[in-house]
Amino acid sequence: MWWKAVVIWFLLMVLAILNGTLRVEWIIPRTGLTVGLAISTLMLCALILLTTWTTIRWLGPPDEGKAITIGSLWLVMTLGFEFGAGHFLFKKTWSELLLDYDPSQGRIWVLVPVITFLAPWLMAKARGLFA
């Protein structure tokens, strides 16, 4: 089950990178920064939920605890990638990276890690994998 969780997470990261490319190249130039970021955030949340919906039976968490543990793994990997690659690879400052998590600045990116964490549990429950 754990190797499957990592495979699905890598798929989610590919989708996130494609979403980011679409955001930068197409969405933001047409909508502006704040609206573009919101659209991109909601699109990525939908992609995470859809991907988890379609793969959760294959992943097969046996109970709610394992589904939450998978979500925790995905969350740690996501934040590690986002902040690690963002800071060390793309040379963004920590304050630049944290800005996306500031709703007072019109940023709703915090929904992505929340959905990433909850998706395995929510979709397993929705698909009837446990009561």
Q: What is the pLDDT, as a whole number, of residue 60? A: 95
Contact 99, 105 (CB under 8 A): yes
Q: What are the tokens at 95?
A: 């304050």
What parts of the chain have a pLDDT lower than 50? none
Render pLDDT for 51-76 as a digit per residue (tens, 0 to 9).
Answer: 999 999 999 999 999 999 999 999 99
For residue 49, what is the enclosing H or E element? helix 33-59
Domain ranges of the chain: 2-126
Render pLDDT for 43-52 as a digit per residue (tens, 0 to 9).
Answer: 999 999 999 9
Which DSSP string do the residues of 63-105 spell out, in sequence order? SHHHHHHHHHHHHHHHHHHHHHIIIIIS---HHHHHHTT-GGG
